[in-house]
Chains A and B, each alone.
Chain A
Amino acid sequence: MKKIIKYVITDILRNRIVLVYTLFLLAASFSVFALEDNSSKGLLSLLNIILIVVPLVSIIFATIYVYNSAEFIELLVSQPLKRKTIWLSLFTGLATSLSIAFFIGAGIPVLIYQANIIGFTMIGVGILLSIIFVAIAMLATVKTRDKAKGIGAAIMLWLYFSLLFDGFVLFLLFQFADYPMEKPMIAVSACNPIDLSRILILLQLDVSAMMGYTGAVFKDFFGTYTGIVFSFVTLLLWIVLPVWYAARKFNTKDL
């Protein structure tokens, strides 16, 4: 398994997109920190950039990469290798390289300007988001054979998680405005890794007061030890479930 991961990572590193992505993150984070006089304000701006860019790049890059490696996968499948090994190596290779890119691009500036618990949470969340969206991308690629359809599905999934879901939550809140929605909102937020990450960091930043009563309920839940464990476990589930399901599908897929 190690061998294939090695080949996948060297192949991705030869592909300059990941390098460009790293440089973009570096430029964005340094300029954000340089623009704001208060580095925790800078962190807040960086958060918004990261929550849009990291999922987008991870899901699109991973989808296109898996489709472009179709022949490589075919070559490996005809060799004495377990299919599960091939699939998990591909996932590990993609997740590792995108996580490293994120860590160099955004993690290092954060460590320079804001090396505290908030900074660490932010780096952890960014890496988790990179991995989650690679996992979701691999699920999309295993489900659709057609490249254009698969990439389309990946873009739709990203749109859903970063825009549509918020609209859906707002709609839900307005429709059920007369009912106490604060507690169910916690469950709803677990359905979207991006929202969950945002809540985690916003609560660390102590701007939850601006989120009204819901913010207070969130603070009560996510601020506690159980809440943090719950959210990390949920984020991990967002990795494990798609990868597990995609690996199962790949095991019986016709190539």
Chain B
Amino acid sequence: MIIASNVTKQFGKLKALDDVSTTCNKGECIALIGPNGSGKTTFIKCILGMVVPDSGFITFKDKNILHHWKYRDGIGYMPQIGRYPDNMTIGQVLDMMKDIRNKKTALDEDLIKAFSLHNLLNKRMRTLSGGTRQKVSAALAFLFDPAVLILDEPTAGLDPVAAESLKEKIIAEKEKGKLVLITSHVLSELDDLVTRIIYMQEGKLLFNKTIEALRHDTGEDKLSKAIASVMTGLTPNLSSKERKF
């Protein structure tokens, strides 16, 4: 569904993305992991067209996305830090997004119910806590029943109950045959979610493996341990501080 070919992006001296190529298909749940500043969010933003790559290209359903905008109809995006116009209430933000998307078919309001956001519809966005904002972002990402879900650190800041219902929702959507892209630092959380791991470091795609292959290769059952063992194998000269990741 999404194919990235040799995507490179430079911010000043920093190479945020260095020749990244990958393919993402329907029904997959892909975890993008890597240390802070490894280019995960930049890669996601490239897919969304928020960052324009210096070279290389990304196709969505076999169409180059450069300077196109219609394709975003099929993407639900939950940003890392969801910030909304301060003066609007939750209800107004939801209505505005419905108005902009102008979707004819039924809306998916499961998460609005699960997070009981209807009780907060009159709250202004600036009065919301970080966690509640995350709930609004998550609800918005799933609201229009998109074919692709892109979630940037979805559970950061959510309480355990909300995180659990979000996880259930992600699994349910994956079962429906949607493509889900997640970045996260909480590896234990990804254990029962993901089917494939993409590991990035300093803008490079270090490895790209299905979770079964990863478990098989490392002999570890837990994702965090498997990653740790791969990382020590991949980069033997990392300092101990970096290895701790």
Q: Which residues of A contact B (CB under 8 A)?
A: 3-4, 7, 11, 14-15, 68-69, 71-72, 74-83, 251-252, 254-255
- Whether the pair B101, A254 counts as a contact (CB closer than 8 A) is no
Knowing A80-B72, A83-B69 are in contact, say whether A252-B52 is a contact too (CB < 8 A): yes
Bound together, the chains give a CA A68 to CA B83 distance in angstroms of 11
> CB distance A254 to B51 under 8 Å?
yes
With A and B bound together, what is the CA distance between A95 and B67 in angstroms?
Answer: 26
Of A11, A79, A81, which is within 8 A of B85 by CB?
A: A11
Query: Contact: B69 with A82, CB < 8 Å?
Result: yes
A-chain residues with CB within 8 Å of residue B50 when the two chains form the complex: 74, 77-78, 254-255
Question: Would you call B87 and A15 a contact (CB within 8 A)?
Answer: yes
Segment touching A, from B92-100, B177-185, B219-227 = B92-100
Interface residue tally on B, bucketed by range: 20 to 34
**Chain A residue at smallest Cβ distance from B76:** A78
**A-side binding surface: helix, strand, loop or mixed?**
helix
A238–B75 Cα distance when bound, in Å, is 38
CA distance A252 to B50 in the complex (A): 9
Is A81 a contact partner of B100 (Cβ separation < 8 A)? Answer: yes
Kindly state the separation between the CA atoms of A82 and B86 in the bound complex, as whole angstroms.
Answer: 23
Query: Can you report 8 residue pairs joining A to B where beta carbons are below 8 Å apart?
Result: A15-B87, A75-B83, A75-B84, A77-B48, A78-B77, A80-B101, A254-B50, A254-B52
How many A-B pairs have beta carbons closer than 8 Å: the answer is 62
Chain A contacts for B75, CB-based, 8 A: 78
Give complex CA distance A15, B126 in Å: 13
Q: Which residues of A contact B87 (CB under 8 A)?
A: 11, 14-15
User: A11 contacts which chain B residues (CB < 8 A)?
Assistant: 85, 87-88
B49 in contact (CB, < 8 A): yes
Partner of A3, one of B49, B71, B82, B99: B99
Flag whether B79 is at the interface (Cβ < 8 A). yes
| Alpha-carbon distance between A78 and B50 when the two chains are bound, in angstroms | 7
Of B52, B71, B88, which contacts A80 at CB under 8 A? B71
**A194 → chain B, closest Cβ, in Å?**
32
A79 lies within 8 A of B67 (CB)? no
Tell me if B110 is interfacial: C-beta within 8 Å of chain A.
no
Interface positions of B from 80 to 121, Cβ below 8 Å from A: 82-88, 96-97, 99-101
Contact of B83 among A71, A82, A83, A255 (CB under 8 A): A71
From the candidates A15, A72, A77, A83, name the one contacting B84 in the complex (CB within 8 A).
Answer: A72
Measured CB to CB, the nearest residue on chain A to B75 is: A78
Which partner residue on chain B sits nearest A86 by CB separation?
B69
Interchain nearest-CB distance for A64 vs B (Å): 13
Which residues of chain B come closer than 8 Å to A14, judged between CB atoms? Answer: 87
Tell me, in angstroms, the Cα distance from A82 to B67 when the chains sit together.
8
Which residues of A have CB within 8 Å of B73?
80
Q: Name the 5 nearest CB pairs between A and B, nearest first.
A: A71-B83, A80-B72, A80-B73, A14-B87, A254-B51
